[in-house]
Amino acid sequence: MNLSRHAWLASALAAACASQASWEKPGATEATLKDDSGQCRVQASLAPSPQQYAPAPTGSATVTTGILSRQEQLAVNEAEQFQKCMTGKGYSLKR
């Protein structure tokens, strides 16, 4: 299996797992959740781009460890920024 297939598979699995999870906050309504998640999506998409991720150290267990395309780096950064925003607003991720 080549790297692009691994990346695609990882993305598909992450999407499947994310669809089963939900953000929860005591007292928050569906409308509040929708507004807050929309604000966090915008904030995450405007976050500064990460620096190039370092390649895997020599002698690492797999060839693909630590190697991400620029698009994958941006997606990971955006997901991290979204999660930070939501937890900052008092939400927790429930699976």
Domain that holds residue 71: 3-94
Tens of each residue's pLDDT in the chain, 95 residues: 445 545 554 555 455 455 578 999 999 999 999 999 999 999 999 988 766 555 555 555 555 555 667 788 888 899 999 999 999 999 999 98
Q: Output the pLDDT for position 15.
A: 53
DSSP bridge partners of 23 = 93
CB within 8 Å of 89: residues ≥ 6 apart: 25, 36, 40
Tally of structural domains, the chain: 1
Q: Can you tell me the distance from the alpha carbon of 53 to that of 50, in angstroms, rounded to the nearest whole number? A: 8
pTM reported for the whole predicted model: 0.64
